[in-house]
């Protein structure tokens, strides 16, 4: 469960502010100047430590994702005697970044964190990794999926390492499709999906008891659909916010109509951490909905005896879908000591080696970050009997790049607010998006 998940779904547009695979907040507020942020470690080790270096690694993963992360942490700790990693679990990606912001201000930072933020990297809150990587034997930078690795670069330096790739795909109940005579392989467009959802939905007296589909809360799913229709967030020259174009208004208003007027779809919103995400999954697994749009990372939480997976569709007369595929990345706070930074890179390098990135993909559904992982014997064997693992890889081959918000998150924030108005409040997309465009444009204009 997440590629960019409310924050990872937002993460789908947030680029490097993790937050998309799988909506949610971005860190638009600066870390207080009292933090005295610097690109150099605050306290460098004067002598080599006599024993293993113990570091904290913060991550906002729950459920089976969290269990798999803990498995790899324990495996790493048992594999060598130089570094001990203590995993510190947060509620989600958003809380991780919020707590990191407070930690930077006090100077008591973790050595590694599953979070990334371009603006913070430029301000010196994260340490560049290039020299640390150069010290790692057999790191083999060229083996990384370069589109993922490049997402961790800021102004020519490597500030973040991709831990896994994510993209939003479609999960559906095989029995619901079969009962209605629907062939998933024939759903090529959003129009096809809406027609299938209408056919499968069960209504009684104006109330829907079985939903034909459930999009995920937040702007991420709807942005994917807009990009697939040819829409953009910024003009080609980067000077104009274009989120009130016809592609945006038409697409978002269809989602509003499907949810509020046709009542063939619904969303779960709010709650603590990933609560809304798991409620959406539960609806499908418990037979209350035919399918949903979720993270490639949901695969570890699903029973594929009941469900199957397919790519996001495109639009009639336009072409195949172009949803975002992005890397979920980890960084090293600049205020960690030199010894802690070196230890952190050892841990991150271990997590992303061929065997472990293949393990992560097999057990979570997220996309492996090394090309060689596809040749890993365990991955080859697993994909032969579990074809759903290939769907994210297939979709990533024609996906859109993550949006890099030049305003430090204000455009993303405006889209999050607009999405809530459309999905929850039933406000027409034209009204919600025009207001969001004005807010986002004002933020963009301040950069001139």
Helix (H), strand (E) counts: the chain: 17, 11
402-419: average pLDDT: 95
Average pLDDT over residues 174-194: 98
Give me the mean pLDDT over the 91-115 stretch.
96
**What would the DSSP string read from start to end of 259-322?**
IIIS-SB-----SSTTHHHHHHHHHHHTTSBSEEEEEGGGGGG--TTTEEEEPPPBBTTTBS--
Please give the pLDDT value at position 401.
85
Q: State yes or no: pLDDT of 374 exceeds 60.
A: yes
What does the pLDDT read at residue 48? Answer: 53
Indicate the average pLDDT of the chain.
89
Residue 231: pLDDT over 80: yes
CATH architecture of 6-166+325-396: 3-Layer(aba) Sandwich (3.40)
DSSP H or E stretch at residue 121: helix 118-122
Q: Please, is 54 exposed, middle or buried when counting C-beta atoms within 10 Å of its C-beta (0-12, 13-18, 19+)?
A: middle
Residue 49 has a pLDDT of: 56
Q: How far apart are CA 347 and CA 353, in angstroms?
A: 10
Token pair of 406 as six digits? 């030049």
**Would you mind telling me the total number of residues written for the chain in this entry?**
448
Q: Do the bridges between strand 112-113 and strand 153-154 make them parallel or antiparallel, or are there none, so unpaired?
A: unpaired
Backbone angles phi, psi at 272, to 5 degrees: -90, 135
**Alpha-carbon distances, residue 279 vs 276, 282, 308 (angstroms):** 5, 5, 18
Is 168-323+404-445 a domain of CATH 3.40.50.10860? Answer: no
Using CA atoms, how far apart are residues 93 and 81, in angstroms rounded to an integer? Answer: 30
Rounded CA-CA distance 191/208 in Å is: 20
Which of 142-146, 171-175, 281-285 is the least confident region? 142-146
More confident residue, 127 or 16: 127
47 Cβ contact list (under 8 Å, min separation 6)? none
Q: 146: pLDDT confidence band, cut at 50, 70 and 90?
A: confident
pLDDT of residue 295: 92
CA 93 – CA 65 distance, rounded (Å): 13
Q: pLDDT tens digits, residue range 300-309?
A: 889 999 999 9
HSE-CB for 231 with a 13 A CA cutoff: 25
Residue 284 vs residue 18, higher pLDDT: 284
Distance CA 262, CA 242 (A): 28
pLDDT tier at 88, thresholds 50, 70, 90 = very high
Average pLDDT over residues 126-151: 94
Closest to 221 in 3D by CA, of 292, 164, 284 = 292
Q: What's the mean pLDDT in 57-63?
A: 94
| Domains 6-166+325-396 and 168-323+404-445 fall in the same CATH topology | yes
* Radius of gyration from C-alpha coordinates of the chain: 22
Q: What is the pLDDT of residue 20?
A: 34
38-52, 102-116, 131-145, 245-259: range with lowest mean pLDDT = 38-52
At residue 18, the pLDDT reads: 36
Residue that wins the pLDDT comparison between 384 and 9: 384
> For the chain, which residues make up each domain, given as ranges?
6-166+325-396, 168-323+404-445
> What residues form DSSP beta bridges with 292?
171, 214
- What is the average per-residue pLDDT within 393-409? 87
Cα separation, 364 vs 353, whole angstroms: 16
Question: Percentage of the chain with pLDDT > 90?
Answer: 79
Can you name the residues that pair with 399 across neighbouring β-strands? none
Q: Locate 351 and state its tokens.
A: 């997590």
Task: Write the pLDDT tens digit of every residue in 1-55.
Answer: 443 343 333 333 333 333 333 333 333 344 433 334 444 444 444 445 578 999 9
Q: Average pLDDT, stretch 185-196?
A: 97
pLDDT in tens, 162-181: 999 999 999 999 999 999 99
pTM: 0.73
Contact 311, 395 (CB under 8 A): yes
- pLDDT given for residue 291 in this prediction: 98
Given a contact cutoff of 8 angstroms between Cβ atoms, the answer to whether 240 and 441 are in contact is: yes
Pairwise CA distance, residues 448 & 445, whole Å? 6
Cα–Cα distance list, 181 to 200, 208, 291, 299 (Å): 10, 20, 15, 25
The residue with tokens 């100047």 is: 33
> What's the longest Cα–Cα distance across the chain?
75
């Amino acid at each position: 469960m997440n590629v960019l998940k409310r924050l990872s779904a937002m993460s789908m547009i947030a680029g490097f502010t993790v937050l998309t695979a799988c909506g949610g907040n971005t860190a638009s507020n600066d870390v207080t100047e009292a933090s005295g942020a610097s690109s150099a470690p605050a306290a460098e080790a004067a002598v080599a430590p006599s024993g293993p270096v113990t570091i904290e690694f913060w991550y906002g993963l729950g459920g089976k994702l969290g269990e798999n992360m803990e498995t790899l942490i324990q495996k790493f700790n048992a594999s060598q005697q130089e570094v001990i990693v203590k995993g510190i679990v947060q509620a989600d990606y958003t809380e991780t970044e919020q707590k990191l912001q407070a930690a930077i201000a006090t100077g008591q930072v973790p050595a590694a964190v599953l979070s990334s933020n371009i603006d913070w990297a430029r301000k010196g809150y994260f340490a560049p990794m290039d020299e640390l990587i150069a010290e790692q034997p057999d790191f083999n930078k060229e083996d990384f999926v370069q589109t993922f690795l490049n997402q961790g670069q800021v102004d020519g330096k490597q500030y973040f390492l991709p831990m896994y790739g994510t993209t939003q795909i479609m999960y559906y109940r095989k029995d619901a499709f079969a009962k209605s005579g629907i062939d998933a392989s024939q759903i090529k467009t959003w129009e096809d999906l809406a027609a299938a959802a209408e056919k499968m939905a069960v209504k009684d007296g104006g109330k829907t008891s079985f939903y034909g589909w459930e999009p995920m809360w937040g702007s991420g799913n709807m942005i994917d659909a807009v990009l697939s229709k040819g829409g953009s967030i910024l003009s080609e020259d980067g000077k104009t916010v274009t989120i009130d174009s016809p592609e945006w208004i038409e697409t978002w208003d269809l989602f509003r109509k499907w949810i509020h007027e046709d009542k063939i779809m619904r969303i779960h919103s709010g709650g603590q951490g990933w609560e809304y995400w798991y409620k959406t999954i539960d609806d499908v697994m418990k037979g209350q909905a035919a399918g949903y749009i979720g993270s490639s990372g949901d695969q570890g939480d699903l029973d594929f005896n009941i469900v199957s997976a397919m790519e996001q569709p495109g639009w009639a007369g336009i072409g195949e879908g172009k949803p975002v595929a992005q890397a979920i990345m980890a960084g090293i706070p600049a205020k960690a000591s030199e010894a802690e930074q070196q230890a952190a890179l050892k841990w991150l390098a271990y997590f992303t080696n061929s065997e472990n990135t293949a393990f992560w993909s097999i057990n979570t559904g997220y996309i492996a970050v090394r090309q060689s992982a596809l040749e890993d014997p365990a991955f080859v064997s697993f994909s032969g009997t579990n074809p759903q693992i290939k769907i994210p890889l297939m979709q990533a081959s024609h996906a859109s790049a993550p949006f890099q918000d030049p305003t430090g998150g204000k455009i993303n924030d405006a889209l999050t607010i607009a999405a809530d108005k459309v999905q929850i409040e039933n406000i027409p997309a034209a009204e919600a998006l025009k207001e969001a465009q004005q807010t986002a444009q004002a933020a963009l204009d301040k950069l001139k």
